[in-house]
Structure 1
Amino acid sequence: MSLRIKLTLALAAAVLVGLLGFYLQSRLQPYEEIIEHGPAPEAKANPYLAAEAFLREQAIATRRNDDLEAVKGLPGPGNTLLLLSDRSRMSPRQSRQLLEWAASGGHLIVVAERLWDEEARKSGDLILDSLELQQYETDELTAEDASKAADSAAAEPYPELTKLYLENEQAPAYLAFDTGYHLYDAGNRAHAWANSAGATHMLQLQHGDGLVTVLTDAWIWQNRKIGQYDHAWLLWYLTQDSAVTLIYRADHENLARLLLKHFPQALTALLLMLALLLWHHAQRQGPILVPASPARRQLQEHLRGTADFLLRRSGPQRLLQSLQKDIQRRARHRHPGFERLPVAEQWQVLGQLSRLPVNAISQAMRPVAAERIRPLDFTRQVAHLQNLRNAL
């Protein structure tokens, strides 16, 4: 193929590619598509991440803490403590510390957790009981209260929303609290409150030199709801001109609960392994020995067994003393008045009767030591005593 033909074919191919590209470009239409990946891991781990970011945007110093003991080193004046964590395990000492901190000039914001029990005359919420505040379900309100709530709802444009009225403001702030709960100020101490058509959802009272604000719920400040209505504004209003410490996860689970929650299969396998290990070490090693037949036992075996029993039960000192008493008994039988002689004369008499040297007799009849006897010394003294007894 000539060079001219090759150039012609290449030019024709380039033209075709250009025409195809122009056609495709004329048919393509650009568009934008937003793909939702859901909340970031930080937002999933912290339900109040948006609230923290909002406060920092308002130039409010904000820090997060997961320990109730942080209040010990926190000055009261100029500080707000947002306690949004579960308080079911709070001790009376911790509750007392929080109220004392508020009385020193701090602002404590908490969520009511327990319902008032008329029979027990308490709710079990240590902070609410100390402040004489009571929480009820709105369904449990009296008929008179329900009638007032119905009349109020008829006059309200948004009966499901909670309204907070401020002085010198034309319109109230609207908040979406859970209308299923109602706060009651039994001690008549509150100076500010926020109500829906049928219930009260926020109470604020003076406590010592500080403030305590109680809410029926804090969901309005979570990531999904803080941007609704006036939720963010209420957070700013309650914390303005102060530094904020946010505690929303103070109910730490112990190690056993965390392991059971996250590693149940591993714990089950570990328990099975321990059970198998105990079973393995508890079983007998080797075949079980069959007891010997009584018919084959001889007198020598009985004597050896009796001696072993006496040695374990009474000790070597008792056996040596028994042999010495037996020798003295034989000597009294052959030499009357033997027991009244001095020890040295007794040894001479034993030497005359047995025809053994006094040295051997002294080794055999020496007093038995109270301390532990070595096996070699015990065997040697028993041999001397047996020789002396056999010679008598």
Structure 2
Amino acid sequence: MTVKRILISALVLGCVALVWLFLTFYERYSEEIDIGWGTKARHNPYLAAEQYLTDLQMKPRQADNISVLQGLASDATLFISSSSQVYNPTKAQELIGWVERGGHAIVVAYTGNFDSDSGRSENRDWLLEAMDVSIKEGYSEFELQQTLEQLLGEDAVLEPEQNPADAMREHNRKIDEGEPEEEPEEEPSRNPVVPEEDLITLPVEGNSGIQLYLDPSHLLYHPAFNDETYDNGPVFWAKISRDDSGVPFMQFERGNGVITLMTDSTLWQSQRIGHFDHAYFLQLLAGEGEFIFLTRPRFESLSKVARQYAAEFFLAGALALLAWLLLHGRRFGPLQPEPEVSRRSLLEHISACGHYYWQDDQCEALLRGYRQELLRRLDATHIDATKKRKLCDKLCAPTGMDERLVVETLWGKPPTTEETFTEHMRNLQRIEAVL
């Protein structure tokens, strides 16, 4: 056996040994890494709700204007993320008319610029006024908990005896001292820790009830709560277990459809739809037809758009610069002389304009227009010879012109030379000066 064959055999045996070792000790495993919200989820806060409805064989879609009502079927469900999108009384009546034909509208009351004294926003809310609903101020513990979750994580819990400032100081202290976070003994619940009296339990047929946690910072109020004889009032409402006079959720029947009013616009957003029974509540309210999310469009920030299209921007700029260089770099024939930068005097300009008008036969029109204006001012446009003579006698003394010159100036033939034209214009100016 030659040395070459020995080396080839050793190489083959080594490769086989490596393959055997890899197949013997290799272990495949998968690991999920949370990288945060994706692009679609950042643009569409209701993406999880749409996917949930799609899994239920429903047809969700997005819209950004109330004009979607014009082509909406009567069995559809329309979710309006802010009642301010019903921006005039005509649109409010269109929405109520569509509901009366069998539609279901879920509307979140707009609480921006809220006035606690009048119970309404500074801008008129046409839909709430049509339903005779006002807004009352609740309490802001919901907002504090939401802020803690954003800063400290979803597992942040505000103890009853602890205020948000103390919680933040404790969190910062652990970060500064490098203290490791305590590992939870058991898997944390998907639901945030909230006071029991803030939960809403809705009765459901065939179920012990569903639990919801709606934003209590603003509540809805209707006069029917205190007046049982009120017509067209809400047929159902959910009250928080507190002494508040308002409620976060109510329903009205209008014709064959239903209008649901609520104060929480984040209930079905991606960060909260998995809490409690929020997703099941969305399923109960959805009809058999389409489900339309009428939300405000969200746009990327200017800095992010600039980073996203920076390559195209600089490429277009480079091409434009290249085209400009090619355009101004070409030259045919000798260089033209530099144009004169000195400007002529005003008298030269007037003289040049006069010569141009004279050569273009426009001086007669100028003279005729000047004459007609003077005759109009003298009230002598259409007069006989006797009145002409009287007018000439009247003008001779103040102008220093004889009768023949006045007649020739006002009614004579147009001049044929530059000198006579100038003389006629000067005489007309003398007559005009004495008027």
| Same fold, judged at TM 0.5 (above) | yes
What letter matches 1:207 in structure 2? Answer: R
- Aligned partners of 1:193 and 1:61: how far apart in 2? 27
The equivalent position to 1:217 in structure 2, one of 260, 264, 272, is: 264
Instruction: Verify the 8 A CA contact 1:202 1:214 in the aligned structure 2.
Output: yes
- Aligned partners of 1:226 and 1:113: how far apart in 2? 20
The equivalent position to 2:219 in structure 1, one of 166, 182, 187, is: 182
Higher RCO structure, 1 or 2 (CA under 8 Å, sep 6+)? 2
CA RMSD between the two structures:
4.7
Bigger-Rg structure (1/2): 1
Which residue in 2 is equivalent to 1:246? 293
Give the TM-score taking structure 1 as reference length: 0.56
1:1-392 equivalent positions in 2, closer than 5 A? 4-19=2-17, 22-23=20-21, 28-75=26-73, 77-85=74-82, 87=84, 90-114=87-111, 117=115, 119-120=117-118, 122-123=120-121, 124-139=124-139, 158-166=196-204, 168-169=205-206, 171-188=208-225, 189-198=233-242, 200-249=247-296, 286=341, 316=367, 368=412, 377-379=416-418
Which residue in 1 is equivalent to 2:185? none
Instruction: Verify the 8 A CA contact 1:106 1:210 in the aligned structure 2.
Output: yes
Give the TM-score taking structure 2 as reference length: 0.51
Between 114-123 and 196-205, the greater mean CA deviation after superposition: 114-123
CA positional deviation for 1:85:
4.8
Instruction: Verify the 8 A CA contact 1:162 1:175 in the aligned structure 2.
Output: yes
Between 88-97 and 217-226, the greater mean CA deviation after superposition: 88-97
- Aligned partners of 1:185 and 1:179: how far apart in 2? 16
Instruction: Verify the 8 A CA contact 2:119 2:136 in the aligned structure 1.
Output: no
What letter matches 2:209 in structure 1? Answer: P
What letter matches 1:41 in structure 2? Answer: T
CA positional deviation for 1:232:
1.7
- Aligned partners of 2:370 and 2:211: how far apart in 1? 101
- Aligned partners of 1:245 and 1:229: how far apart in 2? 23
CA positional deviation for 1:366:
12
Among the aligned pairs, what percent are the same residue?
A: 24
For the structure 1 residues 241 and 16, does the alpha-carbon distance in structure 2 shift closer, same or farther, using more than 3 Å as the test?
Answer: closer
What letter matches 2:265 in structure 1? Answer: A
- Aligned partners of 1:220 and 1:235: how far apart in 2? 9
Deviations 1:284-311 (A, max 9, x none): x94577999xxxxxxxx9xx9xx99xx9
For the structure 1 residues 169 and 288, does the alpha-carbon distance in structure 2 shift closer, same or farther, using more than 3 Å as the test?
Answer: same
For the structure 1 residues 319 and 58, does the alpha-carbon distance in structure 2 shift closer, same or farther, using more than 3 Å as the test?
Answer: closer
- Aligned partners of 2:56 and 2:409: how far apart in 1? 104
Give the unaligned 5+ runs of structure 2.
Answer: 141-193, 226-232, 314-339, 372-388, 390-407, 425-435
